[in-house]
Amino acid sequence: MKQGKLFWFAIATLGILLSFSQLSPPTVETLGERLFFDPILSEDSTISCGSCHLPAFAFSDTTPFSKGVGGRLGRRNTQGITNMSSREHFFFDGRAATLEQQIMMPVQDSLEMRAHPALIEARLARHPEYAVLFQQLFQAPPNSELVSQAIAAYIRTLETSNTPFDRYMKGKPNGMDAAAVRGRRIFMNKGKCFDCHFTPDFTGDEFRNVGLYNGVEFQDKGRYNQTNDLADLGKFKVPGLRNVAVTGPYMHNGMFKTLEQVIEFYDTPDQFVKNPINRDTLLARPLGLSVAEKSDLKAFLEALTDDRWRK
Ligand code: HEC
Ligand code: HEC
């Protein structure tokens, strides 16, 4: 194609794309998506939810601790936030009971977006497009409750179930390979993983203690901070394991970079944390996994990755 023709071809294509984008009416979910990636929700308009929850890594971050406004470092690892629809608690200590409740917490958190709800509301109300979108969708001016509703609706669209594991369970082609099938057996039996990571998203939505609190080098008291109940000392929300292959580093403190290290930890936890307090009896003895069993277990965890993140 000559250059002139190419130019007009490009213009025509752009025109078609633009008219399409105007054809699809805005929804609460698309508004939520836009807000999720918009730094307008942070004090100095530099950080969005998507700055820490990166879409390419199942909406998690790749460092142990993410940076918020002004480069402040957070205190816990940024979790992936796929498959949140069925969760009963949010955050490692469960301090939010619903997604709607959860949303304004990072917005206001001094280490994250550090913005006052009134500031956000004023900014959105002044913004020509947001003001119109809120009116269209909610017949109301922007307010933090509606922001939470919209972002929560978007997060509920991040459900994933297109994995080798799901295909295997339904007897479809392209399911798990032999190593992952063996790994699943270890996950259910010898590894005892299934005792805590059950349900279709591989979490029981409970708080458990895998021994990452000892009051010395490991200081995060987890669920105890919410309940003040000594029985909760060192308990953390059991994370779901869908897409876990792409959400490292792992654990509330991001102490493990790879799944191999996590498996090594469960096999011989004493090697990693001395004198854990309140550790669950399921971790009382080394699992005694062989090299081959560890590798199979890893293959199973990798088979829980949605196709959109599989290489
Ligand atoms: C500065 C980084 C950062 C920003 C910005 C951020 N988050 Fe997070 N997010 C985290 C961290 C760290 C955690 C875990 C905190 C904890 O458990 O105490 C988390 C946890 C969550 C969870 C809970 C996941 C679970 O399994 O319980 C959700 C949902 C979430 N964030 C959504 C959002 C939304 C929505 C926004 C924007 C309004 C946002 N985050 C902004 C770092 C961030
Ligand atoms: C006693 C309950 C329990 C058992 C048994 C258990 N887990 Fe966990 N798992 C947890 C809890 C709680 C966490 C979060 C701990 C933290 O962040 O401090 C976790 C975290 C993880 C993570 C990190 C997820 C992330 O996003 O950071 C992986 C991977 C994992 N477990 C896999 C396994 C495997 C594989 C097994 C079996 C070998 C297993 N778990 C056995 C409760 C358990």
- Pocket residues: Cβ below 6 A from ligand 2: 79, 92, 191-193, 195-197, 208, 210, 212, 236, 238-239, 241, 244, 247, 250-252, 262-263, 266, 280, 282, 297
Nearest residue to 50 via CA among 59, 62, 40 = 59
Residues whose CB is less than 8 angstroms from the CB of residue 63 and which lie 6 or more positions away in sequence, other chains included: 249, 254
Name the closest-CA residue to atom 32, ligand 1: 103
The mean of the pLDDT values for the chain is 94
In a domain, residue 19? The reply is no
Instruction: Classify burial at 11, counting beta carbons within 10 Å of its beta carbon; exposed 0-12, middle 13-18, buried 19 or more.
Output: exposed
Ligand nearest to the CA of 203: 2
In a domain, residue 239? The reply is yes
pLDDT the model gives residue 216 = 96
Instruction: Classify burial at 25, counting beta carbons within 10 Å of its beta carbon; exposed 0-12, middle 13-18, buried 19 or more.
Output: exposed
| Ligand 1 centroid, distance to 228 Cα (angstroms) | 23
Look up the domain containing 141 and give its range.
25-155
Model pLDDT for residues 197-210, shown as the tens digit of each residue: 999 999 999 999 99
Is residue 20's pLDDT more than 80?
no
pLDDT the model gives residue 12 = 57
Cα–Cα distance list, 219 to 121, 215, 244, 252, 290 (Å): 37, 5, 25, 11, 32
On whether both 296 and 195 belong to a single domain, the answer is: yes
Q: The CATH number of the domain where 266 resides is what?
A: 1.10.760.10
Please give the tally of structural domains in the chain. Answer: 2
Share of the chain above pLDDT 90, in %: 91
Name the closest-CA residue to atom 36, ligand 2: 193
Tokens standing for residue 222 = 């987890």
On whether both 171 and 290 belong to a single domain, the answer is: yes
**Which of 107, 123, 155 lies at the terminal end of a domain, its last residue?**
155
Which is the closest atom of ligand 1 to the Cα of 69?
Answer: 1
**Which of 100, 122, 155 lies at the terminal end of a domain, its last residue?**
155
Is residue 13's pLDDT more than 80?
no
Cα–Cα distance list, 279 to 11, 146, 283, 307 (Å): 63, 41, 7, 35
On whether both 62 and 108 belong to a single domain, the answer is: yes
On whether both 61 and 185 belong to a single domain, the answer is: no
On whether both 61 and 147 belong to a single domain, the answer is: yes
